[in-house]
Amino acid sequence: MNDVFKALSDPTRREILQMLKRQNLSAGQIAAAFEIGKPAISHHLGLLKAADLVQAEREGQSMIYSLNTTVFQDVLAWMYEMRGAKEQDDEDK
């Protein structure tokens, strides 16, 4: 979970996730949308992969990135659970 929050803390990585929400993209397509170097994009993609927020598949010579919605569902479930626990604590007071 820490890797997920670390990955989500950066605006560039959040923008990459927004792009992947619309469609699967190659690393080159992602890099073309930003004014930073390809090594920086590669670093961002590596952190997103480490957090399991994106998946990558080789297609010919390209890596195609897609959103892994399962992790988002897990995070939302955890947040909902935490909210429910707080509401229950408030009711118990």
- Which listed CATH number (2.60.40.10, 3.40.47.10, 2.40.50.320, 1.10.10.10) goes with 2-68? 1.10.10.10
Give the closest residue to 46 by CA, choosing from 30, 69, 35: 30
| Comparison of pLDDT for 53 and 81, the residue scoring more | 53
- Chain segment 68-86, per-residue pLDDT in tens: 988 888 888 988 888 876 5
DSSP letter for 68, please. -
d(CA 22, CA 1) in angstroms, rounded, equals 24
pLDDT band at 7 (very low <50, low <70, confident <90, very high): very high
Task: Give the Cβ contact number of residue 45 at 10 Å.
Answer: 20
Kindly calculate the radius of gyration of the chain based on its CA atoms and give it in whole angstroms: 16
Give the mean pLDDT of 20-34: 96
pTM over the 0.75 mark: yes
Contact 33/45 with Cβ under 8 angstroms? Answer: no
The average confidence (pLDDT) of the chain is 90
